[in-house]
Structure 1
Amino acid sequence: MRGIYTDYARAFLLTDQRAHWVVSEAFDILWVCWDTATASDNLHRYAWCLLRSRVMLRATCHHDGRPDLRAAVFSTREVHNNSTVPGHLVVLTELIDLFDAITRLPDDQMDAAVLHYLCGTPYQAIAHVLGIAPTLTHAVDHHARATVEALLTTPNPE
């Protein structure tokens, strides 16, 4: 799990050092709480919620408390590979809007979207990491994509 956890943490915390540190912290806490974790209904879910809480404590947030993923746009392949292509600024703006919309999703949908689309985690691994049924992963992704599309096409009242 360390690699996937680190990829997820890096998406929000932006540096390898911060990501590795928070993953190590989560594993240390999990070790201290091991009896409680193994007594829970779902050890993978317990560990994921622990990691997620540690990441979100350190993530940059919007004024409404949701995490801010916009800076992660600058670490994507699309930005690096197309930095000299005409229209690059339009692509950059669209990616920023997309990443911002992802943070408006419910937690499981946001986590699945970040893991799959930003970190490249396959669906089978996402189910294992999040501690959800494998069949539920596709449903969560389907709802996330529909919600993001609606968010991107509906004017924001802010």
Structure 2
Amino acid sequence: MTGPQQPPQRVVRAMTTELPTAFWAFHNLYHRPYLEYAHIQLGDERSAGELVHATFMDLALNWPDMMEDANHEAYAWALLRERIADELRLQGRVPATVETAVFARVNRAALESVRDQLADMESALGLYAAISRLPERQFDVMVLLYVLGYPTEQTAHILGVTPATVRSQARHAKRKLAKDLDLTVDLTADRDDAE
């Protein structure tokens, strides 16, 4: 994977001892969702891991600047999305969302019978293809909520937005998906923070 050059090892060692507890708390809270999201986009765990590591290194090096930003989560999320877009552009390809999301969902349902998994995969292909065509914010919300399974409140924290924004973006996305897939959607049955 190409990208920003890694800092010298002595800088990494110095950073691990000098970074504030708040950075490590932020890292612990968002590393996994960032990694899962990057994997959905890149389709490769190793590349996703390297990209997320580089993103957190950049955040660590710029931690004081980030802390001056009123919305730390949105700042970090924008950096992650930018790195993913740059990586895909460098590779000359589109996100692997459709394939990766389908198989992530099938793996989550691994206890079901093989027949049910294949039927699920077949119907999910069209849905995930439609999700990949959503506007950026709606796409992020749908991937975090429904592909990766994060609750509304946590999705809001990851994106640096309010839970109401997440619910609104999910409703808009569902309407668009229903129109694109010629389906009827019950918007009164939206996911709730209590999940």
Matched residue SS, 1:76: helix
Matched, 1:125 2:154: yes
Counterpart in the other structure of 1:67: 95
Q: Which runs of 5+ in 2 are unaligned?
A: 1-29, 184-195
Structure 1 Cα separation of the partners of residues 157 and 163 of structure 2: 7
Q: What's 2:48 paired with?
A: 19
Name the Cα RMSD after superposition.
Answer: 2.7
Q: Is the 8 A contact 1:66 1:103 kept in 2?
A: no
Residue deviations 1:21-78, cap 9 Å, x none? 1111111111222233222231110000101111233348xx9x86341211133227
Q: 1:17 to 1:87 in 2, by over 3 A?
A: closer
Secondary structure (helix, strand or coil) at the match of 1:132 reads: coil
Instruction: State the TM-score, normalized to the length of structure 2.
Output: 0.66
1:103 and 2:141 correspond: no
- Counterpart Cα distance in 1 of 2:67 and 2:128: 34
Q: Which amino acid aligns with 1:44?
A: E
Q: CA deviation at 1:91?
A: 4.2
Equivalent pair of 1:9/1:55 in contact (CA under 8 Å): yes
Shift of the 81–8 alpha-carbon distance from structure 1 to 2, 3 Å rule, reads same
Aligned twin of 1:52 = 81
Higher relative contact order (CA 8 A, sep 6+): 1
Q: Give the match for residue 71 of structure 2.
A: 42
Contact 1:59 1:68 in 2 (8 A): no
Contact 1:66–1:104 (8 Å) recurs in 2: no
The count of aligned residue pairs is: 150
